[in-house]
Structures are given as C-alpha cells and as structure tokens.
Structure 1
Amino acid sequence: MPTLDDIRQAARELDGRIHRTPMLTSSALNERFGAELVLKAELFQKTGSFKVRGLLTKLLRLTAEERGRGVITVSAGNAAGALSWAARDAGVPATVVMAKTAVPAKIDAARGYGATVELVEGDLIAEYERIRDERKLTGVHPFDDEDVITGHGSLGLEVLDERPDLETVLVPVGGGGLISGVALAVKLVKPGIRVIGIEPEQADVVSRSLAAGAPQKLPTARSIADGLAAPVCGTRNFPLIQEYVDDVVRVSEESLLEATRLVMSRTKLAVEPAAAAPFAALLSGLKTQCPTAVVLSGGNLDVAKLML
C-alpha cells in the first residue's frame, strides 16, 4: 500500500511538469446548495484532466528498457491523452486502445500528441492485453497501478495545502484510480476528513465491488460520463477505497446531464459530465460537512451530448 511519503515523492517529481490547478468558488452554487463549496479545477490540467498526474508519474518511473519497447494503455479517452502527451515529451512511442464509440475529440487529442490509436470493439481490456503482448509493449494501466495512484494522490495534497480547513472531499469515481489516490492522501494528512465518491448508476462497478467485498467486473458500462464508465474496479484501488473512502453515491444519467449544464451555466467552466458527477449527487440531495472540496476532474467533453 502506498505511503504518504510515496505520494509526496510523486508530487515532487510532478512539480514543474504539470499545472497546480486553481481552487475556485461560486457564490451562485453555494447559494443553490446552501453549502460552502470549493472547486478543484482539474479541467485546467495538462491534457484537460487529472489523468496526467498518474500517467506521467508512471512513465517517469519506467526503466530505460521499458520505455524503449514503447508504452500502451487502454482508455475511454482522458488516460489516452495523458499518456500520449507524456510519452511524446519523453520521446517514447505510445499506443492507446480505445473503443470505436469513444468521444471523437478524445481520439483526435491522442493522435494529435503523436500516439498510435487502436479503435476496437468488444472487451477493451482483452484487446489491450492482446495488442500489448503481440507487440511486446510496456503496459501502463490507467488506474490499477501503485505509481498511478500515488501520482493522483498529489491532487489530494494540493487540496489540503490550499484549504486545510476542509471537512469533505467529493470525487468522481470510475475504476478507482483518482479516488484511491486522493482518499489515501487526504486521510493520511487529516484523518477526520470525509471522502465521498460519486459514480454513474449505469457504471457502478465500485459500489458493486464494495457490496461484494471484492473487485467486480461489469458486463457493460455505458454513461454520458464516459470518463467514469470503467467496467472493472482496480485490484490495487479496491483495498484503498475500502479503508479510506467513507461512502460512494450513485447518480442517474439525467442528474449527470443536469449537473453538467448547471456547472457550465453558473461557473462558465466547460466541464465534462464525469467532472460534474459531484454536483449530480448534490442535486440528488447529498448533504456534506463544509467546507467541501469538489474535484472537477476534466473538461474533455462531447458538446453534442449536451444537446440531447
């Protein structure tokens, strides 16, 4: 299990390579929910999402031989962009496996950073493993990896460094990479803080895993919040979620869409639906101890979906 020292080391490695994203406030949203909310704006991060924290941390820690073989990951989009960007700057060939139905802008971003994009159908993880093994590439899992977790933990350190008075942190949940890193970091620094995860009802693999007592796999996972539609809960993420996350709340597709529109209209921040998930929970009645940090995880959105 990663330690606080591991997370602090990752933060030092990332310093100067990525952005220290701003923490913003919105009086309109505070009034709407009767709460003091602080928005951690990771949509302003390199490549437009938090993912670069963990993926760059992993890339920095690979051996020369592992880099020389080229790297590969599997992604709904944000991890693909993050690894592609990090690999380009390091001069490492990158391949990303994505669904043919992925958001076009996210596919274009990965290609724009110079990665080879493999668009596949069916089981993404199986296709990723097949291509990795056939081409003898170095696999970089988008969330089920200790280096990725510690990199994401840097976000938790930043949040508490800026607002040590926080009582709650709301975090979008996909396969568990972000929430496991953030929860570990903030709980080790401030044990009494509450960490609440939010995931789509149609991609609730973490809730199902917690109920079963072991990581689960969904037959399908589709959501307007494509960044949260992971079909599996990471085996390394799961015990951290069990120990350090206080609750995981499920939200509907309708509330995700409403939350995205609400955040965009009140803050003028172009968040993707995955980033708006905490506000979907607030719209559905979630009450928190304040001040509350809300992690706006990314801004790589498919504008067409908001027109539905």
Structure 2
Amino acid sequence: MISLKNIQLARTNISDTVAQTPLLSSATLSEQYGNQLFLKAEHLQKTGSFKIRGAANKVLNEANNGAKHVVAASSGNHGQAVAYIARQLGIQSTIVVPVDAALCKQEAIQAYNGKIELCGTTSPERLARAEEISQTEEAVFIPPYDDPAIMAGQGTIGLEILEQLPDVDVVYVPVGGGGLISGIATAIKESNPHIQVIGVEPALANDTFMSIQEGKRVSIGASKTIADGLRTSTPGELTFPVVQRYVDDIVLVTEDQIKHAFSTVLSRMKQVIEPSAAAAVAAALAHKAEGKRIVAVVSGGNVDLDQIPNLLTT
C-alpha cells in the first residue's frame, strides 16, 4: 500500500518535470446536467497524458540508482512518458506496444528517441515481452501501473484536485490497470474520506468491475473497446487492494456513451480528449441534477486525427 506521504514525496520529486494541469469548466454543461462539472485537464499535460507523473517518479528514481536503459510495456501513453523522461535524462528506452497501438502514440514514442517493439494485443503479452527484454538487455523494467512509485506519481493529481477545488464532492477516474485511481484515491481518501471516488470502465473492458464483484482479481481477456488505454485484462496485483479499500464504486459506460462524451467536450469546450478520458466524462454526465461539485479526470488527449470522425455523434 502507498500512503499520502509517498504521494507528497513524489510531488516534490517530479516538480521540475511535470506541469500542474488546470480544472476546466463549462457553465453550459453544468447548467444542462445540474451539477458543477470540472475536467481535470491531464490531456494538457506533458506528453499528452497523466502517465508522465508516474513515469517521471519511477524513472528518476532508477536513474539516480545508475540505470542506463529502461523498458516499458504500454498501449501508448505510458510508453510516451517513459521515452520522454528517458530522453530528458540521457538514457536509452525501449517501449513494447500492441500491434494495434494508435499511430500518433507510436510516432510520439519515436520522437522521444524511444525504440518501439510491437507485440500482441493484450497487456499480459506485452508485459511479458518487456520483462524479457529487461533481463536480456540489462534494462530496468518500468511497470505501467503496478508499482508503488508509479502509483504515487499518479496520485499527485489527487493533491492538485484538493487544492484547486477543496469542496469537491465526487471524482470520476478512468480505470485501466488501476495505477491512476489507486494513487488518486489514496491522496483524496487519506486527506478527506468524505469525498467520493468513482472508478469508470468501458462495459467491454470491465475487469476491475468484475473483480470487485468477485472479491478477487479476474481476467477478462482481450477487449475491443474504443478506449484503448483501458483495455487492461486484469487489475494490478498492487493496485487492486487499494481500489478495494478506497474506491466507493466502479461504474460502466457504453461505447456510445464514450462517443457522446467525446463529442460533447469537443463541441462545448473545444477540447480534444482521447476515448479513455471520455469514459470518465461519460460517467459524470450520466448522473444528472444532483447539485454536486464533480471532477472528471481527463486522463489524456492522444488520439489519431483520422479516428476523430469515428468518435463523433450527431
């Protein structure tokens, strides 16, 4: 288990690398849905997603211990973040991505001097390959979510939300492997246990939802959800107990709801977010007229331009 102190230390560690992202709001949307809705704009973060927070915390620690080569497994955003911070530190990076990884994410990894290796379509496949590379090439493996330093880095978002909106009622967080929500939930619940933290998964990638129902980690296999960053097939071994302890609920959203949220944010707020981020917004929009102060964590904005027409609803 990580603690609030771990997250506070992570914030100090990454302060020179990571930007504090704003809370964006729309009076029109708030009025329409009957809640004060805010978006925690991690799509405006360096590398275009929240992943830089955990990656910076972990890679900085490893570099200080002498690492010269890091390797990561990623659907794209974590890989970008690892490649970015590795380049900043002047060390080598290898990123294992699925064969169907978004081209914009692959191009960004390469722009940060990361070496790409394509492997399979599921998280276990690329994780196994990344760990193999770490052993054969004497590289340090940087987990995408199941690591205390990664979780603590992601938790710095929770600290920022508490400072930017101290009277927040509910925070919606997209859930993949659980690094983001475990960090945010720890920061928030250990600061103010009365604030609700709600996890959001696509109905087509409901491994954490099913695991909570079963009381143990469940694997669901490969997923075809448009929210490519949430296609994890099994919750993390370290993240899941934190979710069980601190997260108030896990809700599911449909592919149509994700598209609607993407279109709504684009049309009303002029922000381009990725489907994984739109999942959190979709869940927030589904709960109307409650008079609450709600934050949806917009986890990233890395989406292929040619895919945008497929995400729009009329």
Do the structures match in fold with TM over 0.5?
yes
Distance 1:281 1:260, change over 3 A: same
| 1:57 corresponds to | 57
The Cα shift of 1:120 comes to: 1.7
| 1:72 corresponds to | 71
The Cα shift of 1:66 comes to: 5.2
Map 1:8-157 onto structure 2 (within 5 A).
8-62=8-62, 64=64, 67-68=67-68, 70-121=69-120, 123-157=125-159
Counterpart CA distance in 2 for 1:209 and 1:252 is 19
| 2:171 corresponds to | 169
Counterpart CA distance in 2 for 1:297 and 1:201 is 18
| 1:268 corresponds to | 270
AA paired with 1:115?
G
AA paired with 1:103?
A
Counterpart CA distance in 2 for 1:210 and 1:24 is 31
Q: 2:185 aligns with which of 183, 186, 189?
A: 183
| 1:257 corresponds to | 259
AA paired with 1:29?
L
Distance 1:191 1:222, change over 3 A: same
Counterpart CA distance in 1 for 2:95 and 2:280 is 28
AA paired with 1:31?
E
SS at match of 2:67: helix
AA paired with 2:152?
T
The Cα shift of 1:54 comes to: 0.4
AA paired with 1:268?
K
Counterpart CA distance in 2 for 1:289 and 1:157 is 23
Q: Is contact 1:167–1:289 with CA below 8 Å preserved after alignment?
A: no
- The 10-residue stretch of structure 1 (55-64 or 192-201) with the greater mean CA deviation from structure 2: 55-64
| 2:246 corresponds to | 244
The Cα shift of 1:206 comes to: 0.8
- The 10-residue stretch of structure 1 (210-219 or 104-113) with the greater mean CA deviation from structure 2: 210-219
Distance 1:168 1:282, change over 3 A: closer
- String of CA shifts for 1:135-160, please: whole Å, max 9, x gaps: 23211101000000000110000000
Identity %: 38
- String of CA shifts for 1:27-59, please: whole Å, max 9, x gaps: 121122111112111111010000000010001
SS at match of 1:144: coil
Q: How many residue pairs are counted as aligned between the two chains?
A: 307
Counterpart CA distance in 2 for 1:287 and 1:141 is 40
Question: Where does the alignment leave 5 or more consecutive residues of structure 1 unmatched?
Answer: none
SS at match of 1:67: coil
| 1:197 corresponds to | 199
Q: Is contact 1:197–1:245 with CA below 8 Å preserved after alignment?
A: yes
Distance 1:203 1:129, change over 3 A: same
Distance 1:83 1:63, change over 3 A: closer
TM-score, normalised to structure 2, is 0.94
AA paired with 2:89?
A
